[in-house]
């Protein structure tokens, strides 16, 4: 299949492109390289440098490459930034996303897999979280992702564009080529690894008074390769239907302090913790029920152990960031 991946030079996008290429799909990456990296793009894929607001370039790219499906991963994705700059998030995640849908309609492309987020649930009242649970995002990032999910349904009804919306929990780990490095870095595992290597002096622990087993927040971590493979499975349903799926490993999740201790065990290095105040809007726990995608699409995460996830990220760091992605 000929597939366009928006944001395919980013962290998750670059691994999705790798998996698509391994499965012999023809892939074109569409990315403005504002946060992604040219060198992270698999050499088997084409690269078009462009902004999602550029409808003319999008339509040309879709038609010229005979694109049959889109995997849409391009977005602004920092929760704290979204609170301070909501206009940026609505512009990049909603307005630009609708330009993509309009361009797909013009080019007669009727399949899309969307990179959504657990942030659409806000602060859920029970765990694990089901796809049918209430959607009450607590920040502009989650709001804009939910708004685009709603637009997908409108375009399904009005333009016949089928979609699969994949609600990610915490993507982590690395492939052999591509790993996680952002500027600024906000994700826990790479930050703890930075503290282990001395790149930063300590790791901040935001609150130790949550009603959890050690007082710190609980999160669900899923390996980026497992996440990428779910996109390939999602492509297979789009001839028949549209749907929404959670992507996480489930179980009991891991607390912040359990992640820090696991990094200590993997690296053998000292990590200094600094306890600071809670961040506004940080839910106590976010744990996915991924039974729906397992039962309906046969998705089964291969890298479920936290130590294995961290080991892959640590191996990528030790090779010297040969192919950094953002």
Catalytic residues: 141
C-beta of residue 268 within 8 angstroms of C-beta of residue 197: no
Distance (Å) of CA 171 to CA 47, 137, 220, 313: 24, 19, 9, 11
CA–CA gap between residue 48 and residue 32 (Å, rounded) = 8
Phi, psi of 61 (to 5 degrees): -65, -45
Quick one: tokens of 68? 């049959």
Burial of 42 (0-12, 13-18, 19+ CB in 10 A): buried
CA–CA gap between residue 109 and residue 117 (Å, rounded) = 24
Place of tokens 């003319």: 56
């Amino acid at each position: 299949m000929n597939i366009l991946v928006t944001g395919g030079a980013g962290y998750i996008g670059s691994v999705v492109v790798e998996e698509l290429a391994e499965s012999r799909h023809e892939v074109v990456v569409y990315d403005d390289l504002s946060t992604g990296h040219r060198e992270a793009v698999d050499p088997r894929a084409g690269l078009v440098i462009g902004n999602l607001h550029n409808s003319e370039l999008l339509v040309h790219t879709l038609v010229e490459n005979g694109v049959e499906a889109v995997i849409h991963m391009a977005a602004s994705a920092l929760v704290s930034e979204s609170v301070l700059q909501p206009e940026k998030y609505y512009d990049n995640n909603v307005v630009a996303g609708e330009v993509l849908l309009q361009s797909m309609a013009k080019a007669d492309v009727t399949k899309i897999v969307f990179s959504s987020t657990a942030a659409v649930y806000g602060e859920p009242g029970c765990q694990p979280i089901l796809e049918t649970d209430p959607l009450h995002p607590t920040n502009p990032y989650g709001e804009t992702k939910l708004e685009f999910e709603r637009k997908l349904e409108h375009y399904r009804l009005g333009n016949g564009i089928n979609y699969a919306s994949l609600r990610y929990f915490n993507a982590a780990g690395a492939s052999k080529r591509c790993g996680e490095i952002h500027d600024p870095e906000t994700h826990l595992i790479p930050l703890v690894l930075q503290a282990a290597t001395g790149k930063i002096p300590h790791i901040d622990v935001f609150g130790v008074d949550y009603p959890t087993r050690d007082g710190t927040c609980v999160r669900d971590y899923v390996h980026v390769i497992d996440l990428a493979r779910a996109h390939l499975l999602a492509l297979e349903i789009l001839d028949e239907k549209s749907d929404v799926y959670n992507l996480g490993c489930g179980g009991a999740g891991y607390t912040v302090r359990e992640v820090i201790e696991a990094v200590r065990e993997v690296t053998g290095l000292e990590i200094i913790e600094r306890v600071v105040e809670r961040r506004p809007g940080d839910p106590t726990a976010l744990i996915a029920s991924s039974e729906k995608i397992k039962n309906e699409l046969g998705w089964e995460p291969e890298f479920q152990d936290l130590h294995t996830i961290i080991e892959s990220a640590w191996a990528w760091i030790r090779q010297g960031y040969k192919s950094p992605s953002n």
